[in-house]
């Protein structure tokens, strides 16, 4: 739990307000290295302590939360998004600008969240574990947003730390795409999540 956030890691609302513009610029630059588009309509936004702290600070600001219990609730909700040293955690988004096109696509993509994978070098594909907090798909459609955990074994972690190329993809019948290799900058950002 050493990498999880506590109330002591969060800025008071007034201090955050004063520093928000610079923090936002810094976090957006940080997030840009942690984003992987898979095809045109799907993206993985890899979370870490920095991205989660920013999300919590924004939630506290928007909701004007300053009570101890309410802050602890936000920490409990968001801390599970922080990687644990042997995994990557990502927000998976299916993105269509046109509402009708999105509706049709989501209806054809049930279970897509279970077909997202990554692979280090020539190793085995690691498929994501999706939506551990609650189910986001049903018999009619999938959600446009899913939360994924890629649980990595020691072989995959070793390969990534040695700098072997990282590939990611989706193996769904309605949406089959691959990114190989993922940029070196993104790989370096993700490897920093590993213990």
Shared-domain flag, residues 115 and 165: yes
* φ and ψ of 120, to 5 deg: -100, 125
- Band of pLDDT at residue 3, cut at 50, 70 and 90: confident
Task: List the domain range (segments joined by +) for residue 188.
Answer: 34-47+84-195
Looking at the structure of the chain, the number of domains it has is 2
Shared-domain flag, residues 91 and 152: yes
In 3D, which of 90, 167, 88, 95 has the Cα closest to residue 124? Answer: 167
Shared-domain flag, residues 115 and 68: no
Please report, rounded to a whole number, the percentage of residues in the chain having pLDDT higher than 90. 89
Shared-domain flag, residues 97 and 115: yes
Lowest mean pLDDT across 62-66, 107-111, 185-189:
62-66
Lowest mean pLDDT across 21-35, 124-138, 153-167:
124-138
Task: Determine the pLDDT at residue 132.
Answer: 78
- Band of pLDDT at residue 1, cut at 50, 70 and 90: very low
Shared-domain flag, residues 26 and 40: no
């Amino acid at each position: 739990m050493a990498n999880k956030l506590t109330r002591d890691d969060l800025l008071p609302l007034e201090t955050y307000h004063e520093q928000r513009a610079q923090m936002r610029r810094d976090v957006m630059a940080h997030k840009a290295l942690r984003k992987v588009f898979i095809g045109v309509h799907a993206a993985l936004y890899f979370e870490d302590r920095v991205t989660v702290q920013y999300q919590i600070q924004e939630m506290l600001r928007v909701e004007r939360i300053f009570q101890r219990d309410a802050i602890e609730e936000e920490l409990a909700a968001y801390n599970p998004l922080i990687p644990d040293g042997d995994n990557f955690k990502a927000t998976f988004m299916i993105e269509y600008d046109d509402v009708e096109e999105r509706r049709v696509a989501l209806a054809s993509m049930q279970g897509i969240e279970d077909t997202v994978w990554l692979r280090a070098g020539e190793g085995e594909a690691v498929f994501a574990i999706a939506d551990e907090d609650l189910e986001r798909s049903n018999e009619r459609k999938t959600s446009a947003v899913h939360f994924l955990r890629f649980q990595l074994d020691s072989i995959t972690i070793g390969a990534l730390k040695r700098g072997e190329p990282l590939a990611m993809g989706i193996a769904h019948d309605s949406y089959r795409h691959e990114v190989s290799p993922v940029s070196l900058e993104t790989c370096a950002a993700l490897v920093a999540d590993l213990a």
